[in-house]
Chain A
Amino acid sequence: MLRSENVSKEFFMRKGLYGGTKISALSNVSVSVREKEILGIVGASGSGKSTLAKIMVLLYRPTSGRIIYNDSDVSNIAGRRLKKYREDVQMVFQDPYASLDPFHSVEWHIKRPLIISRYRGNIDGRVDELLEMVKLDPPVYFKNKYPNQISGGQRQRVYIARVLALDPKIIIADEPVSMLDVSLRIEILDLFSKIRDEFGIGIVYITHDLNTVSMITDRIYVLKNGVVVEEGSTEDVLANPREDYTRKLIEAAPDPYKRL
């Protein structure tokens, strides 16, 4: 449904005064998201996974390679087509403290995408519905709150409701729970599973944490220094990691069940 074909991304970075160096964030990355699946993209920090997320929503453009959505090349689209594409492919950011505008209410954050996408029904009713969907109940209680008045977990729910308002086909979630307390993580991840099950939205879950990956994803890609080193169904990869790197990642993940 959405796939990257040999995508590479280079950044030009000026180091001190001594001219610039090219930093290759991704090289020849090919990943694909199937309809209604939860895909995991796993890697340590600096592995290029956030860059990949931003390329998938076209905040960055690939230096080489293509992004294919529904069999058409979207790598260089702009204007109306870009807007249309972004109604289908949305992103959830890592830090819910940074991704909501501190000067606007919860209601505003959910209303804007409805207005922009010309939602035909009752907008106020839809806002309530969306808030209930992400388990911010009762909606009246949250609607007029500002981001600084609610908790991190609640903020992430508001953000998910904002994204759902556009009725997307795919949501790319870049470390959506890493800033949250462990107790809240599972609830948010459950919410993603529910979104997939109920609305058939494909989810790309990007993380460094292999535990949470094992809970919800169907397939995973392992990314190391901008290169895909391993892929396959989640069970297979976690049970029989072929790469040292993957093994290290598995060892590094604290196993919540071990302690019990």
Chain B
Amino acid sequence: MALPIKYIINKTSLFFIIFFGAISLNFFLPRLIPGNPAEVVYAEILKAGGSGINPSYLHQLEAEYGLSSAPIYVQYLVYLKDLFQGNLGVSIAFYPEPVFSILAQALPWTLFLVASSITISFFMGNLLGRYAGINRNTIKDLSVNIFGMFMASFPAFVLAFILLDIFAVYGKIFPLFGAYSIGMTPGLNLPFILSVLYHSALPILTIILTSIGGWILGMRNNIIPNLNSDYINYAENLGFKDYQIKNIAYRNALLPNLTGFAMSIGLSVSGVIIEESIFSYPGVGMYMITAIDNLDYPLMQGIFLMVIIAVLVGNLVVDLLYGFLDPRIRQEGE
């Protein structure tokens, strides 16, 4: 079987275009700020009563930003060089911790939350949407719909607080913070894995609840026209069994939802980043709030880059999978 080379090249080049767009935005936006970001940050640290800070640090900060009298394209090249060496600078809020090592600890937790919640939400949402679509215009359909609409209308982080309140503060069923119990050493053993699952249950549940509505409604609205279509009529007349027909319609309704899957990665990363700070989950989101509060530009830029790389890779993988699943990707030359 020949590989779909052209498709892969298309998607991969799009990947690099977006990647360079994003890192360039990351480079230029702080430089568009009038004045010197290093001075802004330095003043900010002084104001916060930062200890161990002296004027030489200002020069160090300027160096961190690659701010020099050098022309902008040289700065840009230096930025790119540093980037590919994994040198993301030193955090200001967590001085003198390098940004890269902070993110190396935080990113896996975020990815874990995103990957598990998005997959569960996708499958459950599609199944619920299928259930609603098959029982269209019945009380079952209506209740699934209302559930979906209600969940979609709730501000995600308020839901997080309510769940935290009910299950952690008062119910004491789930933990209040952290990714695993204090004093545990991470490792591939059962108690640790159970502890991780236990700590991630509430964050994951929240993200599932707030994102499931879209899948439910999308699947419902895709499967109904499919069930009404000529090919299903034909299959019925050929004597296919009821469940077979539903499965055929479901499979065909699933493909458009799969493109949505790639798109939803960005959205659920947003959700996860917000949730993490609420559940005090040691992912990227927790650090991001600190970074914004302290105008920690190096940390913010690092977060921006790492998350975008992760999201882009996720998108690429989904796109490539989709290419294999849908043989109809087709284009006319007109």
Contact = CB atoms under 8 A, between A and B. Distances in A.
Q: Are chains A and B touching directly in their complex (CB below 8 angstroms)?
A: yes
Interface in A148-176: none
Contact of B329 (A10, A11, A16, A60): A16
A60 B334 contact: yes
A219 to B, nearest CB: 30
Contacts of A13: 330-333
B323 to A, nearest CB: 6
A12 interface: yes
Nearest to A59: B334
B6 interface: yes
Chain B contact surface mostly = loop
B5 A19 contact: yes
Contacts of B327: 16-17
Interface residues of A, number: 12
Interface residues of B, number: 15
A13 B334 CA distance: 9
Contacts of B330: 13-16
Nearest to A15: B330
A18 B328 CA distance: 11
B4 interface: yes
Contacts of B328: 16
A12 B323 contact: no
Contacts of B7: 17
A83 B334 CA distance: 21
A15 B326 CA distance: 11
Contacts of A46: none
Contacts of A12: 331-333
Given A19-B5, A19-B6, A14 B334 contact: no
B29 to A, nearest CB: 37
Contact of A17 (B4, B332, B333, B334): B4
B150 interface: no
Contacts of A60: 334
Contact of A11 (B4, B6, B334): B334
6 contacts: A11-B332, A12-B331, A13-B333, A17-B6, A17-B323, A18-B2
Interface of A: 10-20, 60
Interface of B: 2, 4-7, 323-324, 327-334
